[in-house]
Amino acid sequence: MGLLSQGSPLSWEETKRHADHVRRHGILQFLNIYHAVKDRHKDVLKWGDEVEYMLVSFNHENKKVQLVLSGEQVLETLQEQGERTNPNHPTLWRPEYGSYMIEGTPGQPYGGTMSEFNTVEDNMRKRRKEASSLLGENQALCTITSFPRLGCPGFTLPEYKPNPVEGGASKSLFFPDEAINKHPRFSTLTRNIRHRRGEKVAINVPIFKDKNTPSPFIESFPKDEETAKASKPDHIYMDAMGFGMGNCCLQVTFQACSISEARYLYDQLATICPIVMALSAASPFYRGYVSDIDCRWGVISASVDDRTREERGLEPLKNSKYRISKSRYDSIDSYLSKCGEKYNDIDLTIDKEIYDQLLKEGIDHLLAQHVAHLFIRDPLTLFEEKIHLDDANESDHFENIQSTNWQTMRFKPPPPNSDIGWRVEFRPMEVQLTDFENSAYVVFVVLLTRVILSYKLDFLIPLSKVDENMKVAQKRDAVLKELFYFRKDICKGGNAVVDGCGKAQSSTEPEAEEYALMSIDTIINGKEGVFPGLIPILNSYLENMEVDVDTRCSILNYLKLIKKRASGELMTVARWMREFIGSHPDYKQDSVITDEMNYSLILKCNQIANELCECPELLGSTLRKAKYSGSKTDPSI
Ligand code: GLU
Ligand code: MG
């Protein structure tokens, strides 16, 4: 989730007093970095994935599965046995929001050669094995995006009661603070978001109305005044940051060869975010109920929405400075490349003073407004020991604001005094059950960056249309049922698009009809006379590349998975989970997921992930490289 500063966290009131200080020095730190490395060129293409995991424990006797709150200890051991002993260790482990979560990445970034695509899955398997080996009996490491009974009574091991009183971090009716990672950063974030907002966060996810679901659906938990106001009928109500940031995802970070290439990739990939998110949909269940959405995005967005009532436009501006239209966790608000400028059609709230200062320092309009937009936010955590910094050699204040702007894409300047280049992070994907699927999504996105750069593709459409796509992408079965705005002509015929704009781009107004509504099948697989399709483009790129047979075979299997998920031949994880619950003998068609149903589901997920059973409707029967051993039984399950 970001950098960890150690030390003593300040309260919200104290943090707020230092907000201008953090912003002022954050900008100075950014300027120092920018001036030092703006002309840096020829960094090589490097990339890496991040997978977030949950630790679960099966109680086979009671048919119950719980989240194990041992992430901190597991992480400590992983780091001790890994990176701290051997700088070339193949895996790296980081903390995540939940005390039941950890995050794993490859030990070293991948490079630009094709054969590295063939090592991604092995590395993910290594991670799964390494972390799994530290778990107790009947415990497992799962890559599930959202735990179906997160926030239900007794969902953690050990069990804790929520503590909805003043003084707690979340004050949640459902989510105990003990389920938050014990590093002070995480509870401080939780508390300060709530304090800044002036009330608890409120997440309302539409319930899936099944045959026997009460209508209207109104829950009967104890309702204080705040809950009564915040919870909506026909929705699953959640009231804590953990309901969002306690979910897992799959991210990819790329190093570009220059700042302009990074800006170009940032823009191009931003348009792909909703498409790939819908394709990766894996989170249909919340707080023990079947919801009507398939993706976590809006849930996390609401779970960290620290805007005051004034900033949200519910009250006239009096104490707050701006109206702010989105949460800190949301889609991007402006393109960064010159070609993107004319498609910047979203109202952008910026800190005008910071913008002017950046311009004066020689930063161009697009980058200046990007940074000045990120910096409308307050720092959410500040550690006493980290207030006064050396702006020439540190970047914590810049990172403080930057890393709590959790957007679909992140534009990452190099850290001070490092040999890391300009990077962009692709953040919308939901994590999949298996290393095979996760590798497939990662490789698909990385290959896409290769063809974008090699063929100078252009996916840009007005950013407001990308936002509409983001909304649609989260709906139930969006991948098959919804249409998405997509650019019709994506080939610019070799015009330089990285540093400038091609001829076709010379007009300042977007021409009418540059984009159309398309199905994901059309976007991914193409449709005669309408759109060439991303997979056919990737395939033709691959045909022109020197790739060894084994790597080619892996890549083709990965692309087949994406292709078949897009066409509906295979299910998304979300659809598969819906079918599983829907056909569970205990399911009463009332949208309720009981402990026992949850147990069967997560047990099945774990078997699939560990290749103890096949799941052709999700993965296809011939796609995976690894052989199943149908008779093998795992002693732990
Ligand atoms: N777990 C968050 C998500 O699902 C992301 C946290 C992070 O930025 O690492 O999007
Ligand atoms: Mg993370």
Q: Which residue's C-alpha comes closest to atom 8 of ligand 1?
A: 1
CA distances from 368 to 158, 357, 360, 394 (A): 48, 9, 10, 20
Long-range CB contacts (within 8 A, 24+) of 216-220: 217/591
In this structure, the residues whose C-beta lies within 6 A of any atom of ligand 1 are 1, 52, 245, 247-249, 296, 300, 406
**Alpha-carbon distance 299 to 281, whole Å?**
13
**pLDDT at position 508, please?**
55
Average pLDDT, the chain: 94
Ligand nearest to the CA of 247: 1
Tens of pLDDT, residue by residue over 513-538, are: 899 999 999 999 999 999 999 999 99
461 phi and psi, to 5 degrees?
-135, 165
Nearest CA to ligand 1 atom 1: 248
Cα–ligand 2 centroid distance for 271 (angstroms) = 22
How far is Cα 300 from Cα 115, in angstroms, rounded to an integer?
A: 35
From 386, 304, 403, 328, select the one nearest 94 (Cα to Cα).
403
pLDDT-derived band of residue 190, with 50, 70 and 90 as boundaries?
Answer: very high
Res 453 pLDDT > 90: yes
Q: Using most ligand atoms within 8 A of CB, pick from 96, 297, 304, 407 the residue to mutate for ligand 1.
A: 96
Q: Are 462 and 345 in contact (CB under 8 A)?
A: yes
In tens, the pLDDT along 151-171 reads: 999 999 999 999 888 889 999
pLDDT for res 502: 52
* 328 in Cβ contact with 305 (< 8 Å): yes
Could you identify the atom of ligand 1 that is nearest to the CA of residue 101?
Answer: 1
Residue 637 has pLDDT above 80, yes or no: no
Q: Whose CA is nearest to atom 3 of ligand 1?
A: 249
DSSP SS3 for 615: coil
Q: How does pLDDT run across 118-145, given as a tens digit for each residue?
A: 999 999 999 999 999 999 999 999 999 9
In three-state secondary structure terms, 93 is strand
Peptide bond into 158 cis (omega under 30): yes
Q: Which of 247, 280, 438 to mutate to test the pocket of ligand 1 (most atoms within 8 A of CB)?
A: 247
Q: Do 474 and 298 contact (CB within 8 A), yes or no?
A: yes
Quick count: other Cβ atoms within 10 Å of Cβ 7? 12
Residue having the nearest C-alpha atom to atom 9 of ligand 1: 1
* 316-323 long-range Cβ contacts below 8 angstroms, 24+ apart: 321/376, 322/349, 322/376, 323/349
Mean pLDDT of 463-483: 98
pLDDT tens for residues 562-604? Answer: 999 999 999 999 999 999 999 999 999 999 999 999 999 999 9
CA of 438 to the centre of ligand 2 (A): 15
> Distance from the CA of 245 to the center of ligand 1, in angstroms?
6
> What percent of the chain shows pLDDT beyond 70?
94
pLDDT-based confidence at residue 499 (cuts at 50, 70, 90): low
CA distances to 252, 320, 368, 377 from 356, in Å: 33, 21, 8, 17
| Gap from CA of 425 to ligand 2 centroid (Å) | 11
Alpha helices per DSSP H over 422-572? 435-455, 463-473, 478-481, 520-525, 534-543, 549-567
Confidence of residue 498 (pLDDT cuts 50, 70, 90): low
CA dist 566 and 572 (Å) reads 9
Residue 563 to residue 520: CA distance in whole angstroms:
10
- Written as one letter, the residue type at 623 is L
pLDDT recorded at residue 1 = 62
User: Closest by alpha carbon to 634, among 28, 66, 128?
Assistant: 128
d(CA 593, CA 264): 44
Antiparallel, parallel or unpaired: β 101-106 and 91-95:
antiparallel
Structure tokens, 90: 């193949």
Instruction: Report, in this order, helix, strand and coil percent for the chain, each rounded to 5.
Output: 40, 15, 45
Contact predicate 175/243, CB 8 Å: yes
How much is the pTM? 0.95
Q: Is pLDDT at 634 greater than 50 in this prediction?
A: no
| Predicted local confidence at residue 195, as pLDDT | 97
Q: What percent of the chain has pLDDT over 90?
A: 90
Could you report the per-residue pLDDT of 399-450, keeping only the tens digit for each?
Answer: 999 999 999 999 999 999 999 999 999 999 999 999 999 999 999 999 999 9
Indicate the top mutation candidate among 50, 297, 299, 300 to test ligand 1's pocket, ranked by most ligand atoms within 8 A of CB: 300
Instruction: Indicate which atom in ligand 1 lies nearest the CA of residue 249.
Output: 4
Residue 510 has what pLDDT? 57
Residue 633 banded pLDDT, cuts 50, 70, 90: very low
pLDDT band at residue 7, thresholds of 50, 70 and 90?
confident
Tell which one of 144, 249, 276, 277 to mutate to probe ligand 1, the residue whose CB is within 8 A of the most ligand atoms: 249
Confidence category of residue 69, pLDDT binned at 50, 70, 90: very high
| Ligand 1 midpoint to CA 406 (Å) | 8
- Closest Cα to residue 154, out of 88, 83, 85, 67? 67
Tens of pLDDT along 328-355?
999 999 999 999 999 999 999 999 999 9
Q: Which amino acid is at 176?
A: P
* pLDDT at residue 220 in the model: 87
Q: What is the mean pLDDT of residues 479-506?
A: 72
Q: Give the ligand with the smallest distance to the CA of 104.
A: 2
Ligand having the closest approach to the CA of 50: 2
- The neighbour count for residue 582, using CB atoms within 10 Å, is 12
What is the torsional sign of CA 228, 230, 231, 237? Answer: negative
Q: Which ligand is nearest to the CA of 431?
A: 1
Give the tokens for residue 485. 């705005």
Closest CA to 487 of 452, 453, 450, 444: 452
Q: Tell me, what DSSP letter sits at residue 511? A: P
pLDDT tens column, 15-59: 999 999 999 999 999 999 999 999 988 778 899 999 999 999 999
Could you tell me the distance, in angstroms and rounded to a whole number, from the CA of residue 224 to the centre of ligand 2? 33
CA distances from 542 to 413, 451, 537, 552 (A): 31, 9, 9, 8
Task: State the distance from the centre of ligand 1 to the C-alpha of 281, rounded, in angstroms.
Answer: 15
Ligand 2 center–CA 1 separation, angstroms:
4
Distance in angstroms (rounded) separating the CA atoms of residues 476 and 482: 9
Alpha-carbon torsion, ordered 411, 559, 622, 577, to 10 deg? 50
- Atom index in ligand 1 nearest the CA of residue 428 equals 10
**The pLDDT of residue 96:** 98
pLDDT at 222 over 90: no
The answer, yes or no, to whether residue 504 has pLDDT greater than 70, is no
Task: Read off the amino acid at residue 378.
Answer: D
**Residue-wise DSSP of 115-130:** GGGGTHHHHHHHHHHH
